[in-house]
Homo-oligomer: A and B are copies of this chain.
């Protein structure tokens, strides 16, 4: 459902399934991902529903491309979706669940190294997002006020990604400190005294 609308949104300019996959990977991967094997059938569905039209085009290399573009009905469907209530799906974070049950291991050094791994990942992700922000929204000399309407909206969402990950990163530091504290406070507790790991 959401994927359909997102494809419509990405089809502001005509694009093939392959192009759309690249748009996902390059521009919106911080809040949505999709595989080609999901994109192709979804495009067929949109076509059947009259929300996109399709034409063949020769490719510079490789087989013929099938280029999709938005119809009036498609744009209408997109507008209704963005104009509707915010769609909340519930979030599922396996790594949070792992941490939640990690007391089972009875080894705070494990929890510590888990937190450090998380920290590295979040730091990497934050770096990527900063890079996107720099290249897309700060290359032009002007500040936020100079952005076009679409750039402005895209900037808002990017900033959400940035702030969310920054918060998680800070949380990692807080967790690491809290665990080190706890280890220092009672170092030789439960049956895991032998396992020292950085």
Interface residues of A (CB under 8 A from B): 2, 5-6, 9, 28-29, 31-33, 75, 78-79, 81-106, 108, 110-111, 114, 117-118, 121, 144-145, 149-150, 152-154, 156-157, 159-161, 163-164, 166-168, 170-171, 174-175, 178, 181-182, 185, 190
Contacts of A182 in B (CB 8 A): 145, 152
Q: A149 and B97: CB pair below 8 A? A: no
Q: A101 and B86: CB pair below 8 A? A: no
Q: B149 and A106: CB pair below 8 A? A: yes
A145 CB to closest chain B CB, in angstroms? 6
Most chain B C-beta atoms within 10 Å of own C-beta, residue among A2, A110, A117? A2
A99 CB to closest chain B CB, in angstroms? 5
A-B pairs with beta carbons under 8 Å apart, 6 shown:
A2-B94, A31-B91, A86-B121, A99-B156, A101-B153, A111-B153
Q: A104 and B75: CB pair below 8 A? A: yes
Partner of A9, one of B5, B86, B104, B178: B104
Q: A105 and B82: CB pair below 8 A? A: yes
Q: Which residue of B lies closest to A167 (CB)?
A: B167
